[in-house]
């Protein structure tokens, strides 16, 4: 429960510019919520469902923590972590489509890899 509340708080407090990333994570949060509720109601299913639930929960937590870091850096004028958080969140979105447009990660590759500033 604490994990889900922490993630929910991060998603709710993300600045407006990062809300599209938070929106990609909310369905995963709700799925994890439902999974944990099921395990609380039927603990005997734990051995069978633990791995299937823990993998998305761990990925969700990682994405949420990246989003939290991205928000802090974005407030300081650097969008490098925001770009990476957006890319990471795509992995969790089963409805993500292939974007054939220009990828800002390619344009800013040297700055991202070299820990340079990527102005917001």
Condensed to tens digits (0 to 9), the pLDDT of residues 48-72 reads 998 899 999 999 999 999 999 999 9
User: For residue 6, is it within any domain?
Assistant: yes
User: For residue 10, is it within any domain?
Assistant: yes
Lowest mean pLDDT among 34-43, 76-85, 92-101: 92-101
Quote the number of domains for the chain: 1
Tokens 């761990």 label which residue? Answer: 58
User: For residue 20, is it within any domain?
Assistant: yes
**Domain of 37, in residue numbers:** 2-113
Closest by CA to 22, choosing from 31, 34, 33, 13, is 13
User: For residue 118, is it within any domain?
Assistant: no
Q: Is 100 helix (H, G, I), strand (E, B) or coil?
A: coil
Average pLDDT score, the chain: 86
Q: State how far the Cα of 12 lies from the Cα of 75, in Å rounded to an integer.
A: 16
Contacts of 61 (CB under 8 A, 6+ apart): 3, 6, 7
User: For residue 119, is it within any domain?
Assistant: no
User: For residue 120, is it within any domain?
Assistant: no
DSSP class of 112: H
Ranges of beta strands (E only) in 8-107 are none
**The model's pTM:** 0.79
């Amino acid at each position: 429960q604490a994990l889900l509340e922490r993630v929910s708080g991060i998603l709710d407090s993300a600045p407006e510019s990062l809300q599209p990333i938070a929106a990609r994570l909310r369905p995963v949060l709700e799925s994890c919520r439902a999974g944990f509720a099921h395990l609380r109601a039927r603990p005997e299913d734990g051995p069978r469902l633990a791995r299937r639930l823990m993998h998305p929960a761990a990925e969700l937590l990682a994405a949420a923590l990246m989003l939290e870091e991205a928000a802090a850096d974005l407030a300081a004028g650097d969008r490098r972590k925001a770009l990476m958080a957006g890319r990471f969140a795509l992995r969790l979105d089963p409805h993500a489509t292939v974007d054939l447009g220009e990828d800002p990660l390619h344009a800013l590759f040297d700055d991202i890899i070299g820990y340079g500033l990527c102005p917001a």
